[in-house]
Amino acid sequence: MNLPDTPAPLRSVLYMPASNPRAMAKARALPCDAVALDLEDAVAPEAKVAARATLIDEARAGGFGHRRLIARINALSTPWGHDDLTALARAPIDALLVPKIDSEHDIAALSDAMDAAGYPAHVPLWVMIETPRAVLAIERIAAQAAPTRLAAFMLGLNDLAKDTGMVQAPGRAAFMPVLVQTVLAARAHGLILLDGVCNAIDDPARLEAECIQARDLGFDGKTLIHPVQIETANRVFAPDAAALAEAHAIVAAFADPANAGKGALKVAGKMAELLHRDIAAALIAKAAAIAARAG
């Protein structure tokens, strides 16, 4: 069977302040799958206009290689948001990331604004899910994927914790309803889905636990705040050797002419149906995409 087409992996998305050219230069050599150049939280108010110009210059300079280049602007409710959105239409970015959206109406308005500003058709809209209103409207927001540029959700649990009082304790039990609802909405409408950051830079065990939790819930990858976190995210969100071997065995079993026409097979002591074959094929394609990137 033909393996499914798999987009470039997004296991690790590293935030970098757009006000810091040295940090952006460093990002060009890091093994992350994407770099999110940030004009919002990482940039002081008095530096935002200069950071916008720096981001555009750095994007035009290129050199980011396989890394997808994401630009996070300020919310449109701020003094800088509209100018950010308009100016970045001239920058060669792979996606525009917008924070603080609340409803499906925001998505339509943002997509229209990108069209009016002259963004190329291939540049998608990514949004932060980080307000109580956004969580309550998550399915309606996700449903905007078809008629607009919307292509991805990135969780912002720090802002959500601030606005709700929910505690970001190890295990993230308080946030499980948010995580699950976001997964369901994103998958129902074909969106990329990235987990929020782990603030505990000096606690690799907590980072790994969050990555494993997000992977098992169905997230594509994790947003990161420090280069030291990249290796863990890349490793956890990649298929491990045992899972990949099982996937190859399932695909091979269904491809065997002796099993032609069968909808269920016993493979290595487990029952496998056609849906398991498709899951296995997707896993193999993901591993191939990661291997191609490493090369």
Residue 119 pLDDT greater than 90, yes or no: yes
Residue 173 lies in a domain: yes
Structure-block tokens of residue 236: 């956890």
pLDDT recorded at residue 7: 67
Pick from 200, 215, 236: which residue ends a domain? 236
pLDDT tens track for 269-287 = 999 999 999 989 988 988 8
pLDDT band at 294 (very low <50, low <70, confident <90, very high): low
Quick one: 131 and 43 in the same domain?
yes
Q: Could you please report the per-residue DSSP string of 21-51?
A: HHHHHHHTTS--SEEEEESSTTS-GGGHHHH
State the residue for tokens 């045992």: 242
3-state class percentages of the chain: helix first, strand second, coil last, to nearest 5: 50, 15, 35
* Amino acid (1-letter code) at residue 199: N
Residues 6+ apart with CB under 8 A from 13: 32, 33, 34, 35, 36, 68, 70, 154, 194, 221, 222, 223, 224
Closest CA to 35 of 74, 53, 62, 6: 62
- Please tell me the total count of domains within the chain: 2
Rounded Cα distance between 18 and 144, Å, is 29
Exposure string for 60-70, b = 16+ CB within 10 A, e = fewer: eeeebeebbbb
pLDDT tens track for 74-83 = 999 999 999 9
Element of type H or E holding 283: helix 274-294
Rounded Cα distance between 73 and 207, Å, is 26
Whichever domain contains 43, its CATH number is 3.20.20.60
Quick one: 116 and 256 in the same domain?
no
Rounded Cα distance between 41 and 84, Å, is 14
Element of type H or E holding 282: helix 274-294
Strands (E), the chain: 12-17, 34-38, 68-72, 95-98, 125-129, 150-155, 192-195, 221-224, 264-267, 270-273
Closest CA to 156 of 41, 48, 37: 41
pLDDT tens track for 219-246 = 999 999 999 999 999 999 999 899 899 9
pLDDT band at 5 (very low <50, low <70, confident <90, very high): very low
Rounded Cα distance between 96 and 4, Å, is 27
Quick one: 92 and 203 in the same domain?
yes
Quick one: 167 and 281 in the same domain?
no
Range of the domain at 262: 241-294
Asked whether 85 and 76 are in contact (CB, 8 A), the reply is yes
Q: Could you please report the per-residue DSSP string of 64-103?
A: -TTSEEEEE---TTSSSHHHHHHHGGGS--SEEEE----S
The DSSP bridge pattern shows strands 150-155 and 95-98 to be unpaired
Pick from 236, 252, 276: which residue ends a domain? 236
Quick one: 128 and 51 in the same domain?
yes
Residue 134 pLDDT greater than 60, yes or no: yes
pTM summary value = 0.92
Quick one: 166 and 23 in the same domain?
yes
Q: Helix, strand, or coil here: 130?
A: coil
pLDDT band at 8 (very low <50, low <70, confident <90, very high): confident
Quick one: 32 and 111 in the same domain?
yes
Quick one: 135 and 158 in the same domain?
yes
